[in-house]
Amino acid sequence: MTLPPDRQSALDRRYMRLALALGRRHLGETWPNPSVGAVLVAGPPGAERILAQGVTQPGGRPHAERIALAAAGEAARGATLYVTLEPCSHHGRTSPCADAVVEAGIARVVSAMADPDPRVAGRGHGRLSAAGIAVTVGTLGQEAARDHLGHVTRVTAGRPAIDLKLARTPDGFAAGGTGRLIITGPLANARIHLMRAHSDAIMVGVETVLADDPELTVRLPGLGDRSPVRVVLDPALRTPPQSRLLRTSDRVPTLILCGPAAPPEAERAIRAAGADVARMPVDPDGRLQLRAALHGLGERGFTRVFCEGGPTLANALARHGLIDTCLIVTGARPLDRAGLPAIGPDLADLLASGAFGLAEETRAGPDLFTSYARSSPCSPASSPMLDA
């Protein structure tokens, strides 16, 4: 039975929404690979049934398509596969998913977007079409591009996507002098912790470590094991061995990025605490070269980094064009005195430019979440990073 195009499109969107929801479950757990969702559907339109579902597993393998196909078995023959990213077509630790789809006898594949990985980049869809499988590409493609932003950025620009978060008072301040300024309430904080759980890494500068001594873990019931890698930009290795970051490095990985001249004895103390240290180039003023540091994270497999480093780091990232999404959380209580502005001039200019657009405004209790997203692709690197 052939459906009219509008009804077929509505049906495709329905099952692609499910595939996208599945893929989001493992965001932050599958790097260096993307977290893909897959749904197998069989039967006549209007009486169709879901045969199986799949999501890329922690560590990046098995892929979502293989999990769904294995669960469906012979019932997959003649079915439709909905998948949030083009099935891979290259040999890695396993044979290509595109080959598995062909061998399973799938009749139709609905793919949200092509994979920009140069080892795939249309070859997966081409392999399916050559085998006589009907292929539809682009269903809910914008939603898939947001979910797979980290993968896209890593394979096209050689660095992870940077999701910046800043909290500010209604009068625009991130800090108010001595002591830590509590800006947001429990509902907003819970949402931030969920965003941490969906990230590969959390990144801050050493000044944040020295000022706040944060732990940077996920503290939501049942999600304690979803804490991402903590990354500290620390050119001179000033992170104290007694800091909470280093004291918890035995259970949550911590990576300190420093300059080539950082003291060897400080590196030994940090490594003894259980953290890793990587040396990166610095600018003439001694600050880490941010682009080089992020490329170093890309080489380690990170795809999406949640930056909670405060106004100084945020402004520096904006100056170098290294922000992909920006979340500004505005609390309910003003500071009512002079303080540290949350948004620096470079970030303000970036958000006001055509390079970014307002994506969403929502509330978590009394706190306002304002999200901005890059409206144009990031600048490509000379040599892209590839999935494992």
Q: Which residues are annotated as a binding site for NADP(+)?
A: 208, 212
CA–CA separation, 368 and 362 (whole Å): 6
Q: Identify whether the C-beta of residue 294 lies closer than 8 Å to the C-beta of residue 322.
A: yes
CA–CA separation, 207 and 339 (whole Å): 16
Burial of 355 (0-12, 13-18, 19+ CB in 10 A): middle
Residue ranges for the known binding site for substrate are 167, 196, 216, 219
Catalytic amino acids? 65
Torsion of CA 57, 55, 155, 113, to 10 degrees: 170
Place of tokens 């003649």: 78
CA–CA separation, 305 and 287 (whole Å): 20
Residue ranges for the known binding site for Zn(2+) are 63, 88, 97
Q: Identify whether the C-beta of residue 324 lies closer than 8 Å to the C-beta of residue 374.
A: yes
What are the Cα distances from residue 324, in Å, to 160, 250, 296, 371? 9, 31, 17, 11
CA–CA separation, 183 and 154 (whole Å): 33
Residue ranges for the known binding site are 63, 88, 97, 167, 196, 208, 212, 216, 219
